[in-house]
């Protein structure tokens, strides 16, 4: 094994390979940073080019683009609260708030360190334990998947926002939106209101961009006019009230080793969560980042600061979504099961090069596979170096007046939404979600729940219906299968611990 690893790594260090991986990271970051344009789209576009390249170089370039794209998505989430990719939605929660406090460079760099850590842990797990994890993942049937999704939803409901009722409503709204379109088992259209455009499903990009980015622009508009009204009332000069667009001193906006060390536990935990969820086909980075975020909030002493620019929140989301970027190749390479769209594209590229993913892959093409792994590590490191220095540019972008940025973001939201699906109807959907997000924010219903409910909804429904078919409607299977039972017991413990904490707080208040 170690000879194959050494051989694979030595094949990577050629000027051409390094140059193409660099190009992949740069173009992926650029595409990912534009809301709606994903690295998956970039991979699909350059896939034919890789046919003419050596398999290691070509596939490493695709993976470099994917990794760059994942981080690019986080850049726009942090800078404009407009997640470039759905996976960056959780990053926006604390990343944007921390940037708003005047720390754009620190935020980008902390996200970068988290992303690289998650990525490297995912890569190492992929290199050394891919086979082991893949066989564990094979134990996950519909019952376990349904229980895992229920556990994730319970975490989100108990931990995000301040009111459990509002969290529950928000998740239920997301789950309901996920039922629009074709039924996952019978393909019968639901809630399509006679519109062909709704007979498929609601576009995730339209939902994420509308709910998070467009609603945030409307909120910024609101803030702008509130400031303006106050200025008119009290005759305060513009400079005095527009402090929000100012950054802190350049030296304070630097990431220190001490700050990284403070979040080391979250880095470790979130890397593991991301790697494990990534190894399960179909769950993906969005689930991983939200589960990790909720778990970090429950563990943190500063849990109340989550959503208000808490570093641990940013680290948890970013580390987990990047760890998925590597570990979702585990089911692909070990079992031949692509975990998501990007993995499916890489699957296609491997097949075209005559490499058949599956249990025999490492035995038959060991050096090539390890060469690709080396390319992944190189891509992660390039991503770190490039974005570390470009974060200085984002410090400058952060001081642009919100009034100038608002129209730019609104136009980019439309371009990105349309570019993703080429459907004009999605632009209208995005706008509707923008209004919905704005109104929900006004009445303090958290938007995170809607996004995560929407993402997990299809998986939950599909798994539950499969369980019912397989068990003939008997729900006891959820409690007789050990993995499923474990998830449900943990979910119950989370609920009980929350109510215990709330009761304790109430008692303390009464005594005080």
Query: Contact with another protein (CB under 8 A): which of 2, 15, 52, 188?
Result: 188
Q: How far is the CB of 233 from another protein (least distance, A)?
A: 10
Query: Contact with another protein (CB under 8 A): which of 10, 135, 222, 254?
Result: 222
**Secondary structure string (H, E, C) spanning 73-98:** HHHHHHHHCCCCCHHHHHHHHHHHHH
Q: Is 507 in the site for another protein (CB under 8 A)?
A: no
Tokens (6 digits) for 425: 């109807």
Q: Is 422 in the site for another protein (CB under 8 A)?
A: yes
For 458-479, the DSSP string reads: HHHHHHHHHHHHHHTT-TTHHH
Q: Is 37 in the site for another protein (CB under 8 A)?
A: yes
| C-alpha angle 385-381-313 in degrees, rounded to nearest 5 | 80
Query: Contact with another protein (CB under 8 A): which of 341, 415, 486, 495?
Result: 415
Q: Is 162 in the site for another protein (CB under 8 A)?
A: no
Give the DSSP letter of residue 235. T
Q: Is 185 in the site for another protein (CB under 8 A)?
A: yes
Q: Which is nearer to another protein, 248 or 428 (CB)?
A: 428
* Candidate ranges 69-77, 128-136, 188-196, 480-488; the one touching another protein (CB under 8 A): 188-196
3-class secondary structure, 162: coil
3-class secondary structure, 121: helix
Q: How far is the CB of 107 from another protein (least distance, A)?
A: 25
Q: How far is the CB of 186 from another protein (least distance, A)?
A: 6
Q: Which is nearer to another protein, 443 or 511 (CB)?
A: 443
Q: Is 435 in the site for another protein (CB under 8 A)?
A: yes
For tokens 């999605």, the residue is: 426
Binding to another protein by CB under 8 A, coded x per residue (else -) over 384-413, reads -----------------x-xx-xxx-xxx-
| Residue 27 CB neighbours (<10 A) | 20
Q: Which is nearer to another protein, 204 or 272 (CB)?
A: 204
Query: Of 308, 295, 270, 266, nearest to 162 (Cα)?
Result: 308
In angstroms, what CA-CA distances link 112 with 78, 116, 350?
Answer: 11, 6, 29
Query: Contact with another protein (CB under 8 A): which of 18, 341, 428, 485?
Result: 428
Tell me which residues in 453-492 interact with another protein (CB under 8 A). Answer: 460-461, 464-465
Long-range contacts of 397-405 (CB under 8 A, 24+ apart): 397/79, 397/104, 398/79, 398/99, 398/102, 398/104, 398/245, 398/247, 399/245, 399/246, 399/247, 400/245, 401/242, 401/245, 402/220, 402/223, 402/224, 402/244, 402/245, 403/224, 405/80
Q: Which is nearer to another protein, 62 or 263 (CB)?
A: 62
Query: Contact with another protein (CB under 8 A): which of 190, 244, 481, 498?
Result: 190
**74 near 104, Cβ under 8 Å?**
no
Chain residues binding another protein by CB under 8 A are: 34, 37, 41, 45, 165, 168-169, 172-173, 175-176, 179, 183, 185-186, 188, 190-193, 218, 221-222, 224-226, 228-229, 401, 403-404, 406-408, 410-412, 414-415, 418-419, 422, 424, 427-428, 431, 435, 442-444, 460-461, 464-465
């Amino acid at each position: 094994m170690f000879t194959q690893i050494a051989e694979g790594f030595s094949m990577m260090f050629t000027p051409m390979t390094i140059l193409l991986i660099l190009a992949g990271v740069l173009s992926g970051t650029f595409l990912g940073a534009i809301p709606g344009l994903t690295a998956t789209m970039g991979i699909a576009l350059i896939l034919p080019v890789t046919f003419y390249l050596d398999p290691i170089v070509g596939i490493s370039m695709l993976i470099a683009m994917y990794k760059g794209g994942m981080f690019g998505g986080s850049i726009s989430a942090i800078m404009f609260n407009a997640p470039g990719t759905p996976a960056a939605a959780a990053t926006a929660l604390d990343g944007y708030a921390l940037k708003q406090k005047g720390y754009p460079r620190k935020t980008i760099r902390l996200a970068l360190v988290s992303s690289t850590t998650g990525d490297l842990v995912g890569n190492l797990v992929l290199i050394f334990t891919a086979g082991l994890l893949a066989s564990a993942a094979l134990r996950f049937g519909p019952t376990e998947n349904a229980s895992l999704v229920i556990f994730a939803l319970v975490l989100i409901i108990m931990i995000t926002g301040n009111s459990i009722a509002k969290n529950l409503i928000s998740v239920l709204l997301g789950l309901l939106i996920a039922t629009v379109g074709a039924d996952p088992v019978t393909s019968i259209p639901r809630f399509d209101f006679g519109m062909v455009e709704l007979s498929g499903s609601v576009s995730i990009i339209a939902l994420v961009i509308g709910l998070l980015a467009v609603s945030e622009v409307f909120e910024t508009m609101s803030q702008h006019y509130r400031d303006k009204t106050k200025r008119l009332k009290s005759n305060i000069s513009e400079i005095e009230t527009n402090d929000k667009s100012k950054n802190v001193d350049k030296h304070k906006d630097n990431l220190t080793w001490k700050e990284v060390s403070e979040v080391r536990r979250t880095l470790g935990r979130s890397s593991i969560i991301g790697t494990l969820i990534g190894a399960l086909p179909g769950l993906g980075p969005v689930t991983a980042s939200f589960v990790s975020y909720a778990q970090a909030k429950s563990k943190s002493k500063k849990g109340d600061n989550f959503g208000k620019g808490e570093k641990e929140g940013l680290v948890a989301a970013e580390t987990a979504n990047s760890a998925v970027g590597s570990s979702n190749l585990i089911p692909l390479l070990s079992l031949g099961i692509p975990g998501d769209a990007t993995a499916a594209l890489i699957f296609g590229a491997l097949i075209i090069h005559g490499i058949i993913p599956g249990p025999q892959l490492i035995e038959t093409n060991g050096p090539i596979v390890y060469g690709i792994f080396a390319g992944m590590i190189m891509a992660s490191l390039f991503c770190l170096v490039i974005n570390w220095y470009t974060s200085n540019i984002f410090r400058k972008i952060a001081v642009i007046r919100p009034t100038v940025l608002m129209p730019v973001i609104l136009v980019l939201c439309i371009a990105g939404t349309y570019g993703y699906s080429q459907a004009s109807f999605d632009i209208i959907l995005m706008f509707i979600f923008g209004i919905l997000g704005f109104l929900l924010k006004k009445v303090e219903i958290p938007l995170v729940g809607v996004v995560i409910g929407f993402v997990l909804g299809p998986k939950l429904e599909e798994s539950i219906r499969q369980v019912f078919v397989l068990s003939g409607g008997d729900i006891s299977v959820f409690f007789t299968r050990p993995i499923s039972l474990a998830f449900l017991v943990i979910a119950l413990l989370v609920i009980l611990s929350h109510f215990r904490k709330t009761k304790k707080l109430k008692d303390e208040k009464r005594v005080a």
